[in-house]
Amino acid sequence: MNQTERLIFHVDVNSAYLSWEAARRVAAGGEDLRLIPSAIGGDKDKRTGVILAKSIPAKKFQIKTGEPVRTALQKCPQLVLARPDFRLYHECSRAFVEICGRYAPVVEKFSIDECFLDMSGTAVLYPDPAAAARAIKDEIRDTLHFTVNIGVSTNKLLAKMASDFEKPDRVHTLFPAEIPAKLWPLTVRALFSVGRATAQRLEQAGIYSIGDLAQTRLQQVQTLVGKKLGRQIHNYANGIDDSPVLAEQEKAKEYSISTTLEEDVVSANQANPILLALADGVSARMRADGAKAFCVTVTIRTHTFRTRSHQKTLSAPTDITTEIYEIALQLFGELWDGHTPLRLLGIALSQLTEEPYEQVTLFSDEKRDKARKIDQTVDQIRCRYGTNTIVRGGAYEMSRKVGKKYQAQMDGKKKKKP
C-alpha cells in the first residue's frame, strides 16, 4: 500500500463474554466453555433470564442470543450456563485495549469488545501491516488467553468488515484494490449498518449483494431507504468512509458499562434482565470505590447503529443497585419506541460524590436501608468468594415485577407505530 495512505486496524474479541469467562475457568483448571455447548446468561435452575452469548457448539442446537434460557434448555438440555460477570468483562476489555495502545498512536474504543487503531505513519516501525496485526493478535492470545480478529485497511469501515471475515484468531486485509474480490460478493445483509428492514427493501428491489448495491445508482438507493441512510450504505458498499479514529477524550469521572448483543433485542422482556445485570455490575464497581452518583444515563444503539441516550439527575446521590435499576427501566421506557430492534444497551453513573450525603426526611427510609444492607452483603460475599458465587435472585424477581410497569408503556408505544 501507499505509505501516505491511512492505515486502520479493527480489533474484535471473538465471542467476548463467553471467551472471557472461558479463559478465567481454564486458568483455574476448569473446562473450556468454548469447546462445549455453553452460554452466558440467566439461571439454569430457575430457567429464567436470556442468553447473552453462546459457544460455537451451542449454535449447532439453534440457540440464539436474546432468547429465553427456558427455550434454550429445551433445545439443548446439557447446555452449560454461566451467569454474566460485568466486572470481569470490564477488566478483560481494559486489558486488551491496553495492549493495543502499545502499538498504536491512537486507539478508539468502539464497544466493550472492539476498538479501532489508527496505525497511520507507523510504516518505519511496522513495514508489514498484516504482520503488525498478527503481533497484536498473538500478544493478546498469549497474554490474556482469549482470541481476537483484526481487520486491516485504509478506513474504519473496511477494517471492520475485514475483521468479520473467517473467525476466530485471524487477521484479514481489505484494501481498496481487494473490494471487488472480497467485499462485493457478500450478501447485502453483511454490510455494516444494513439492518433487516433495510435489507428486505433492497432485496425486494433486486439488490442482493454488496456489489449490487455499489453499482446501483445513488438516487435509486435513496428512494428505497431514505436520503441519509441511502448515501451512507452506498458509500460503504463502495468502500468509502472518511470518519476519523478518535482518541478517548478525558471526561469527568464516571462509571459506565454496555453490552453489544449478537442478536437484536426486540422486547422489553428481553431488555429488563440485561439492564438489571448492567445495573448490578456498574453499581458494584462504584461502591467498591466508595462513590455515589447523582446522575444515571441509559444508552441504546439501534440495529441501524443510531445511538441515543437519556439521563436523570437525582435530588440525592445513590449507590443502591435496585434504585439504579428502576431508574434505568424508567429511562429505557422513555427512550425506546417499543419496536425498533436494539443492538446495544448501556448504563452510566456520573456526577459522583464520595461525601456522606443523605436526603433529610422526618422518617428513616427502611426500604433503602434494607437494600443498602443487601448490597453490602452481596459485595462482601463476591469479594471473598468470587463474583459468580451469588446472584440477586430477589432482584431478578423484582425485574419481573417492576418490568410489567414499563412493558405496559412499551405496548402503548407499539400501538402507536405508524
Q: How many CB atoms lie within 10 A of CB 271?
A: 27
> Any catalytic annotation for residue 326?
no
**Which candidate in 67, 114, 323, 326 is catalytic?**
114
φ and ψ at residue 101, rounded to 5 degrees: -65, -15
CA distance 303 to 233: 14
Q: Which of 35, 128, 347, 326 is nearest to 136 (CA)?
A: 128
Radius of gyration of the chain (CA): 22
DSSP alpha helix (H) spans, 60-106: 69-75, 86-101
Residue 232, classed as helix, strand or coil, is helix
CA distance 97 to 181: 31
Q: 168 preceded by cis ω (within 30°)? A: yes
Q: Is 340 left (phi over 0), alpha (psi -120 to 50) or beta?
A: beta
The set of cell numbers assigned to 34 is 468454548
Q: Which of 229, 212, 230 is nearest to 221 (CA)?
A: 230
φ and ψ at residue 177, rounded to 5 degrees: -70, -20
Residue-wise DSSP of 287-340: HHTT-EEEEEEEEEEETT--EEEEEEEEEEEE--HHHHHHHHHHHHHHH--SSS
Amino acid in the structure at residue 234: H
Cβ-based burial of 201 (10 A; exposed 0-12, middle 13-18, buried ≥19): middle
Residues in the chain: 418
CA distance 374 to 306: 37
User: At a CB cut-off of 8 Å and minimum separation 6, what does 53 contact?
Assistant: 15, 16, 17, 18, 39, 40, 41, 65, 262
- Unique residue bearing C-alpha cell 437494600: 371
Catalytic residues: 114
